[in-house]
């Protein structure tokens, strides 16, 4: 092997090592705060339960179906939604203000890795306790709302890949969004516009087929759909094999776009950074 090949291999190995260690530490850290975590989850579960109850009420009043969705299908959508939402929790762009103000970023800049790796690894680790805690909640919700869920093997497989795709896409986008903090301190309003667009165009608020047609078309051109609607629908819907794999392809595309935007934004942003204090 040439010297550069050896160097590449050891770089890959130390990266892997970094991810494994960070994930392990995060799992152990998070399991210490079980009560807090459960309380947080209860607050989070309120959102899908509200949507589910509202749309079930509508479906019942329409004679058992709204746009072809039965209460059972809606229940399946929103119960899987909760799991996907858990996967979608990433470092919030609001956190950048704290990182910059507290000088937290100075420490990160000294590390040999791009800071996105730290966020990706630590939030990936936190998923494990969250999913473990979600399982009883998911079971309880299933007992109450009777979802109709009959996925076949390929759907399960695509779902398991797609939730991680969603996680990476959302991590990249929120990271880029957080970069705005380097230019202005009044970021709240900007972030809120973004979250609003996400709420309406991702399938978070309601399954996309229930939206007006023009907004469904718009959603096809944006990344949001691939972080909520696509992973959920992969498991609960009846998508063809082609559209299942096509969806994964689109996720890959958005990961590519997200990486490019994130890298560019980071380069521009970090030039504007000057450490505070100390």
Partner 1 sequence: MRPLRLVLLYVRLGVMNEAQYRANFFIAAFQSLLSVGVGLAVLALVYSHTPTLNGWTESELLVIVGVQILLGGVIHATIQPNMERLVDEVRDGKLDFALTKPEDSQLLISIRELRLWQAVDIVSGAIVVGVGIARLHSTIGVGHSLGFLLLLLLGALLLYCFWLIMATGSFWVVNMWFLAELFEGVFQTGRWPIGIYPGWLRYSMTYLVPIGFAVTVPAQALTNRLHWTTVVVAICFGAALTAFTRWFWRFGLRRYSGASA
Binding site for partner 1 (CB under 8 A): 33, 35-37, 39-40, 42-47, 49-50, 53-54, 57-58, 61-62, 66-67, 144, 186, 188-189, 192-193, 196, 199-200, 205-206, 210-212
- CB closer to partner 1 out of 33 and 273: 33
23 in Cβ contact with 121 (< 8 Å): yes
CB of 173 to partner 1, least distance (A): 19
CB of 127 to partner 1, least distance (A): 17
254 in Cβ contact with 169 (< 8 Å): yes
- CB closer to partner 1 out of 5 and 193: 193
Paired with 66 in beta bridges are: 69
CB of 192 to partner 1, least distance (A): 6
Residue 208 per-residue DSSP state: G
Q: How far apart are CA 144 and CA 82, in angstroms?
A: 15
- CB closer to partner 1 out of 188 and 256: 188
Angle at the Cα of 65 from the Cα atoms of 80 and 218, rounded to 5 degrees: 65
CB of 56 to partner 1, least distance (A): 8
- CB closer to partner 1 out of 103 and 188: 188
CB of 232 to partner 1, least distance (A): 18
Q: How far apart are CA 100 and CA 68, in angstroms?
A: 49
Q: How far apart are CA 218 and CA 213, in angstroms?
A: 9
Q: How far apart are CA 53 and CA 55, in angstroms?
A: 6
Q: How far apart are CA 132 and CA 263, in angstroms?
A: 33
- CB closer to partner 1 out of 39 and 157: 39
């Amino acid at each position: 092997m040439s010297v550069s090949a050896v160097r590449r291999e050891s770089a890959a190995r130390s990266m892997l090592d970094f991810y494994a260690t960070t994930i392990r530490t995060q799992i152990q850290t998070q399991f210490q705060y079980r009560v807090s975590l459960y309380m947080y989850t209860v607050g989070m579960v309120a959102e899908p339960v509200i949507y589910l109850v509202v749309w079930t009420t509508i479906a019942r009043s329409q004679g058992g179906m709204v746009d072809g969705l039965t209460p059972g299908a809606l229940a399946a959508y929103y119960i899987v939604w909760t799991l996907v939402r858990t996967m979608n929790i990433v470092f919030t762009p609001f956190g950048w203000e704290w990182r910059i103000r507290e000088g937290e970023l100075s420490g990160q800049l000294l590390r040999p890795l791009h800071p996105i790796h730290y966020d990706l690894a630590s939030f990936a680790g936190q998923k494990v306790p969250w999913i473990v805690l979600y399982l009883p909640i998911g079971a309880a919700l299933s007992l109450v709302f009777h979802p109709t869920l009959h996925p076949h093997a390929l759907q399960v497989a695509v779902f398991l890949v797609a939730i991680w795709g969603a996680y990476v896409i959302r991590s990249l986008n929120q990271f880029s969004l957080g970069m705005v903090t380097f230019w202005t301190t009044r970021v709240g309003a900007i972030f809120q516009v973004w979250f609003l667009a996400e709420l309406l165009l991702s399938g978070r608020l309601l399954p996309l087929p229930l939206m007006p047609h023009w907004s469904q078309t718009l959603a096809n051109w944006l990344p949001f759909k691939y972080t909520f609607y696509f992973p959920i629908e992969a498991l609960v819907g009846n998508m063809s094999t082609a559209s299942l794999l096509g969806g994964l392809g689109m996720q890959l595309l958005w990961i590519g776009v997200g990486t490019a935007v994130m890298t560019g934004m980071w380069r521009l942003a970090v030039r504007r950074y000057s450490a505070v204090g100390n």
